[in-house]
Amino acid sequence: MKFFIDTAEVPEIRELAATGLVDGVTTNPTLIAKSGRKILDVIAEICDIVPGPISAEVAATDFDTMLEEGRKLARLRPNVAVKVPLTPAGLKVCKVLSDDGVKVNVTLCFSANQAILAAKAGASFISPFVGRLDDIGQDGMELIADIVGIYREYPAFRTEVLAASIRHPMHVTEAARLGAHVVTMPPSVLRQMYSHPLTDKGLAAFMSDWAKTGQSIL
């Protein structure tokens, strides 16, 4: 499974990328706004830190402008994945860009039917929003299971399932169990994955016992 980080904060990306656990980054207009920086500058800088796919989202909603924005974003760096909404115009843009060899991440997916359309349009990634479905009383992970199952039936589909709107480590575990290719998560969730009280307890005991020996490895 690939781990993407869902943020536009460059210092956080730089810190987490140094662990070797980050395979890519996803951004969106909200995250760019929170960064307080210009999108082209942010995306270019992130691309230079993380060699994997960096999702940069178009801001327009009509076909012509989305396509123009997508092409401009794609020219920034070879590892940019243009992010488009799952709308008729967005899927049309996806088809054009995909045919041109540009990676496309189709976002705001909330149904298996939408995921089928994205795959047929040549999307590199489909982003089902797990947490937002949970918020309205649906099981977001059921959607991940449905999409993974459908895609497995059609080897010609090259679209990777990118579980998004991740709220906690159990979302990551369940997405992995169901076979999602990618999970994109806030930095806080990745950091939570390190933690377990028994790990802390065991380490404290080891360190206490080691101190009693009076030894040093160095």
Q: In the annotation, is 83 catalytic?
A: yes
pLDDT in the model for residue 70: 98
Mean pLDDT score of the chain: 97
Residue of 83, 95, 120, 212 marked active site: 83
List domains and CATH numbers for the chain: 2-213 (3.20.20.70)
Structure token pair of residue 80 = 């940019």
- Per-residue model confidence as pLDDT tens digits over 134-170: 999 999 999 999 999 999 999 999 999 999 999 999 9
Structure token pair of residue 50 = 């993380």
Dist CA 61 CA 127 (whole Å): 18
Contact 82, 74 (CB under 8 A): yes
Measured between alpha carbons, how far is residue 76 from residues 9, 105, 154 in Å? 18, 16, 33
Contact 82, 70 (CB under 8 A): yes
Beta-ladder partners of 82: 56, 104
pLDDT in the model for residue 204: 97
Structure token pair of residue 203 = 């380490």
To the nearest whole percent, how much of the chain has pLDDT over 90? Answer: 100
Q: At what angle do helices 169-178 and 140-152 cross, to 10 degrees?
A: 20
- Region of residue 108 (left: phi > 0; alpha: psi -120 to 50; beta: else): left
- Per-residue model confidence as pLDDT tens digits over 2-56: 999 999 999 999 999 999 999 999 999 999 999 999 999 999 999 999 999 999 9
